[in-house]
Amino acid sequence: MLNFSKINVISIYLIFFIISVFSILNFQKVEKLPIDKKVNLGLDLQGGSYLLLEINSDTLIEEKIQSKVIPLKKLLKDNNLNYSNFKINKKTLNFQIDNIDTFELVFFSKKNNIVNPFIDNYRSFELDYKKSNINEIEVSFSKFGLLTINNSALKQSIEIVRRRIDDVGTKEPTILQRGEKRILVELPGLKDPDRIKKLLGKTAQLNFRLVNNNTEFGVDELASETGEMLKISKRIVMSGENLIDAQPSIQNQENEPTVSFTLDRLGAQKFGRATTDNVGKRLAIILDGKIISAPNINEPITSGSGVISGNFTFQEATDLALLLRSGALPTPLDIVEERTVGPDLGEDSIKSGLTSLIVGFLLVIIFMFYKYKIFGLVANVALVANLLMLIGVLTILEATLTLPGIAGIILTVGMAVDANVLIFERIKEELKTEKSIIHAFDSGYSKAKITVLDANITTLIAAIILFVFGSGPVKGFAITLGIGIITTLFTAYFLARHLTSIIVLKNKNKEVKI
């Protein structure tokens, strides 16, 4: 085990050198190097906000099932199927029918089925039905129908969340899909996420509806911004979809912050017609079911632009303009997890993490030198090399370093010497019986090999499982622990063994103590 061919030695040091060079990249300040890699600091170290959002698709599903009512009734009529007791529930449609077999045939027809289209991706129909009683049928979305609704709502939400966050102008936000219903948002460096949370908490469904008592389309009774109860027609004159731009502005007369908006061609037409037909009436501007204001229509507005006022502060006007520009979310978003760390706590964590790393490192080095003298030095060189390689690998992977990650590095420092301790103790035993020093070292290394491997592989198993199943802080810890085990094996069995062989071969005729 102490014989190294030249190629072996060269490749050992080459591997060590190439990997550990990467660790230096983290400390240089020159920009635009050919290899631009760095260990990223986690949000707990650099400060920032982590938000996990979940789409709440209940209302969306309600709307979607309601939109099936008319086509479904038409389908039944067209096929001469008599139905009775048609009920619209939150997530289901219930009715009674005589001929269930015919119903099934038309309900699950793949040809031009408008009511219940076949989703090719999932090889499933959008709707499903079950018999809840004799002749009673309950129609609801199928598993894959729901999945499709959630999926498209999630995709759309991510896009709008991205627009809103980009508009606020935080640096390097991360916005990712997590599972079927969640969006992960990471905002490094953000001290107070309350404004962004507020912006993401609004769906921003904007509607223009007339104030009148005409019950043709039904009316809602809503409180205006002044508290006055108004009857609002359910008919939507125009909605936020037709907006192409919105900006905060100041009305000159009273210095009042307002939001001015521009409409697309279709919106301008609709808005122009509605305002022309209803001069003198009041038009309510409704955001997420609440009246912002309900001004009088003094004259037809055909220019395709307008102004919303509503006793805003300038900040409110800015935020409303931003929401209108970015578009409406298809569903409300709930914040199901939040972790925010202030920048000064992050700095404190880096400081205490580094201090404990340096102190722990020195303590271990002193102890090893005291215990094994010259071979302690070998183990210590291996330990330094180990640390450089560990940081090097983290840099190559551009891994994210977190506070538990630093703890993982410190723990690696403590446990890394174990491999060398195992080997040295074994050599000590061999020296008791073996006369030849070289033989003693040789068999010490080979006998300890299996033990070192077994011992480290078990810890590696724990690290891998932590990485795969753990979340957040656990993952950061698992990365450094796992990589640390591999670099430990390399430095103990190649670097330290080579250094030991140099010492032993030089002193082969003298007495070597360990």
Partner 1 sequence: MIGNINFVSSFKKANIISITVFIISILFILFKGLNYGIDFKGGTLIELRTDTSTKASSIRNSLNSMNLGDINVKKFGRDGDYLIKVEQKNIKNSDLIPSIKKTLKNNLNSEIDFRRVENVGPKVSAELLESSIIAISLALAAMLFYIWVRFEWQFSVGSIIALLHDVVITLGLFSLLSLEINLSIIAAVLTIVGYSMNDTVVIYDRIRENLLKYSKISISDVSNLSINETLARTIITSVTTLLALLSIYILGGEILRGFSFAMILGVIIGTYSSIFVASPILKFFKVSSKTLEKDEQRIEP
Contacts of partner 1 in 428-457 (CB under 8 A): 428-429, 450-451, 454-457
Neighbours of 454 (CB within 10 A): 9
Stretch that binds partner 1, among 68-76, 114-122, 232-240, 335-343 (CB under 8 A): 335-343
Longest dimension (CA), the chain: 112
Among 189, 272, 295, 360, binds partner 1 (CB under 8 A): 360
Three-state SS at 472: coil
Closest separation in Å from C-beta 358 to partner 1 = 9
- Strand residues in 382-437 grouped as ranges (E): 400-401
Closest separation in Å from C-beta 84 to partner 1 = 40
Which of residues 266 and 461 has its CB atom nearest to partner 1 in the complex? 461
Site string for partner 1, 455-494 (x = CB under 8 A): xxxxx-xxx-xx-xxxxxxx--xx--x-------------
Instruction: Specify the long-range contacts of residues 111-119, CB closer than 8 Å, at least 24 apart.
Output: 114/71, 114/75, 115/68, 115/71, 115/72, 115/75, 119/144, 119/145, 119/148
Is 347 among the residues that bind partner 1 (CB under 8 A)? no
Gap between the Cα atoms of 455 and 132, Å rounded: 60
DSSP character at residue 120: T
DSSP-based helix, strand, coil % in the chain, nearest 5: 50, 20, 25
Is 176 among the residues that bind partner 1 (CB under 8 A)? no
Closest separation in Å from C-beta 132 to partner 1 = 29
Closest to 335 in 3D by CA, of 22, 3, 55: 55
Closest separation in Å from C-beta 232 to partner 1 = 26
Which of residues 390 and 410 has its CB atom nearest to partner 1 in the complex? 410
Closest separation in Å from C-beta 450 to partner 1 = 7
Is 364 among the residues that bind partner 1 (CB under 8 A)? yes
Which of residues 397 and 465 has its CB atom nearest to partner 1 in the complex? 465
Among 54, 126, 128, 319, binds partner 1 (CB under 8 A): 54
Is 180 among the residues that bind partner 1 (CB under 8 A)? no
Which of residues 263 and 463 has its CB atom nearest to partner 1 in the complex? 463
Is 228 among the residues that bind partner 1 (CB under 8 A)? no
Is 410 among the residues that bind partner 1 (CB under 8 A)? yes
- Strand residues in 57-126 grouped as ranges (E): 83-88, 93-97, 118-119, 124-125
# chain residues binding partner 1, by CB under 8 A:
73
Is 353 among the residues that bind partner 1 (CB under 8 A)? yes
Gap between the Cα atoms of 269 and 280, Å rounded: 19
Stretch that binds partner 1, among 16-24, 222-230, 305-313, 413-421 (CB under 8 A): 413-421
Neighbours of 49 (CB within 10 A): 24
Gap between the Cα atoms of 316 and 323, Å rounded: 10
Stretch that binds partner 1, among 160-168, 280-288, 332-340, 506-514 (CB under 8 A): 332-340
Which of residues 216 and 511 has its CB atom nearest to partner 1 in the complex? 511
3-state secondary structure labels for all residues of 280-327: CCEEEEEECCEEEECCECCCCCCCCEEEECCCCCHHHHHHHHHHHHHC
Stretch that binds partner 1, among 105-113, 190-198, 237-245, 433-441 (CB under 8 A): 190-198
Closest to 416 in 3D by CA, of 486, 366, 503: 486
Among 115, 206, 341, 382, binds partner 1 (CB under 8 A): 341
